[in-house]
Amino acid sequence: MRVIAGSARRLLLKSLKGNKTRPTLDRYKETLFNTIQGYVPDSRFLDLFAGTGSIGIEALSRGASHCTFVENDREAVKVINENLKITHLEDKADVMTSDVLGGLLMIEKQGPFDVIFMDPPYDMGLELAVMRYLSSSKLADNETLIIIEASNETDTEELCGGDFEIIRTKDYKTNRHILLKRAKK
């Protein structure tokens, strides 16, 4: 696993042993960042279910001004911090050891993020819980781009709940990226 582009380009990132996390494949990460390249520079980026931090670190490498990482696994948090040091991006990041909903509550006062990315464990309904939280949260406004990495079996319409609209879906072999914004009312 490596950083694809930007200031930390080609640097190798550490990963966790075993199957605790499911890092986004480099080719999927590259496709994702090609799609969202206009949103990343100078953005406030939120990486939920951060795992090794590779998505948030990619955003920082490509010019995001700040990234908040939320991860509940302490070993993964150590790896995120190590990866931030490897890439010399630690001064642009906050790393929280928390379950996602607890982490969202703690940062609620920070106001809206420009990009919110989440890659929860598949098929557990966690993305739906986060989307329900965001529907009444100040963390996502009309300009916030929300990206969900989910299994191909995820019910995308349920994620919208009337409060969000899908602006793009990119399907891969075993998963997909779903890009959403607040629905215009």
**DSSP-assigned letters across all residues of 93-118:** EEEEES-HHHHHHHHGGG---SEEEE
User: pLDDT tens-digit profile of 29-64?
Assistant: 888 999 999 999 999 999 999 999 999 999 999 999
Query: Is the pLDDT higher at 123 or at 79?
Result: 79
Residue ranges of domains in the chain, CATH in brackets: 26-182 (3.40.50.150)
| Cβ-proximal residues to 19 (8 Å cutoff; 6+ apart), any chain | none
What's residue 89's pLDDT? Answer: 96
Question: Which pTM was predicted?
Answer: 0.94
Rounded CA separation 99/149 (Å): 18
pLDDT grade, residue 136 (50/70/90)? very high
